[in-house]
Amino acid sequence: MRIETDRRGLLAAGGVVAALGAVPVAAAQAAGMAMSAAPAGPGPVPLPFDPASVGWLSAKLLTSHHDNNYAGAVKRLGTIRGELSKLDFAAAPTFTLNGLKREELIALNSAILHELYFGGFGPAAPPSAKLGAAIERDFGSMSRWAAEFSAMGKALGGGSGWVLLTWCPRDRRLVNTWAADHSMTMASGTPILALDMYEHAYAMDFGAAAGKYVDGFMNALSWRNASRLFAQL
């Protein structure tokens, strides 16, 4: 997944790394030097639509999904980064560092993918001309894209994971990708549309009928956010 980094922030971070490299962590702590705190990062983004206006999913489910699963991931990310900021990387057990970095990746991707998922809600809207042309080129037709994307979602019914429309820089084309555990997806890919297939996204309204949830998503899909993201590639 593409990460855009501010150049000045990168240079500043490089200076911190260089300084810490010159003074061992344990020695710095013994000397009373202040260790750099983890960046707070952005807080949860509000829902970009009125949950009561969706219709095919209840406002109760959407609000619970946002306030618990998504906002919980954002909060968890901040906690994990706080723990990492206090860690002596030279002395910490490898399983501690591995565990924290794995959980950081899961929480970060959960936050990013949930924001992408909620960006697909709102008044139904077609893709932009640029995005529509790319889908026609890379999938053969919009209907063939929709058939594959929908079938992938239904194949995940009763399980957990994500279906993502993703730009692949290596192949210079759009592909539908499967992802699970918030950490398994295409390296370097830039997703522009997401379908959440974890049961918390639909079970309150649809029970085990995951296919009906997928149909509702496809029928009410708003392409505005995906079109905006695609234009930035």
Q: Examine residue 162 and state whether it is found in any structural domain, yes or no.
A: yes
User: Contact at 8 Å (CB) between 127 and 223?
Assistant: yes
Quick one: average pLDDT of 177-192? Answer: 85
DSSP string, the chain: ------HHHHHHHHHHHHHHHHS-HHHHHHTTPPPPPPP----PPPPSS-GGG--SS-HHHHHHIIIIIIHHHHHHHHHHHHHHHT--TTTS-HHHHHHHHHHHHHHHHHHHHHHHHHTT-SS-BPPPHHHHHHHHHHHSSHHHHHHHHHHHHHHTTTS--EEEEEEETTTTEEEEEEEBTTTBS-TT-EEEEEEE-SGGGTHHHHTT-HHHHHHHHHHT-B-HHHHHHHHT-
Q: Examine residue 166 and state whether it is found in any structural domain, yes or no.
A: yes
User: Residue 96 phi/psi, 5° resolution?
Assistant: -70, -45
Q: Taking all residues of the chain, what is their mean pLDDT, rounded to a whole number? A: 85
pLDDT at 50: 97
Domain count, the chain: 1
pLDDT at 37: 52
Q: How far apart are CA 50 and CA 42, in angstroms?
A: 22
pTM listed for this prediction: 0.78
CATH at residue 143: 3.55.40.20
- Give the model confidence (pLDDT) of 69-91 as tens digits: 999 999 999 999 999 999 999 99
Q: How confident is the model at residue 196 (pLDDT cuts 50, 70, 90)?
A: very high
Q: How many CB atoms lie within 10 A of CB 200?
A: 13
- Give the model confidence (pLDDT) of 33-83 as tens digits: 334 455 567 899 999 999 999 999 999 999 999 999 999 999 999 999 999
Residue 25 has pLDDT above 70, yes or no: no
pLDDT at 39: 56
Q: Which residues pair with 176 in a beta bridge?
A: 165
Q: Examine residue 184 and state whether it is found in any structural domain, yes or no.
A: yes
Q: Examine residue 63 and state whether it is found in any structural domain, yes or no.
A: no
Residue 22 has pLDDT above 90, yes or no: no
Q: Examine residue 15 and state whether it is found in any structural domain, yes or no.
A: no
pLDDT at 33: 33
Q: Examine residue 206 and state whether it is found in any structural domain, yes or no.
A: yes
Q: Examine residue 23 and state whether it is found in any structural domain, yes or no.
A: no
Q: How confident is the model at residue 170 (pLDDT cuts 50, 70, 90)?
A: very high
Q: How confident is the model at residue 186 (pLDDT cuts 50, 70, 90)?
A: confident
Residue 123 has pLDDT above 70, yes or no: yes
Quick one: average pLDDT of 134-157? Answer: 97
Range of the domain at 153: 129-231
- Percent of the chain topping pLDDT 70: 82
Residue 32 has pLDDT above 90, yes or no: no
pLDDT at 72: 97
Residue 100 has pLDDT above 90, yes or no: yes
pLDDT at 55: 96
Q: Examine residue 226 and state whether it is found in any structural domain, yes or no.
A: yes
Q: Which of 227, 226, 147, 149 is nearest to 195 (CA)?
A: 149
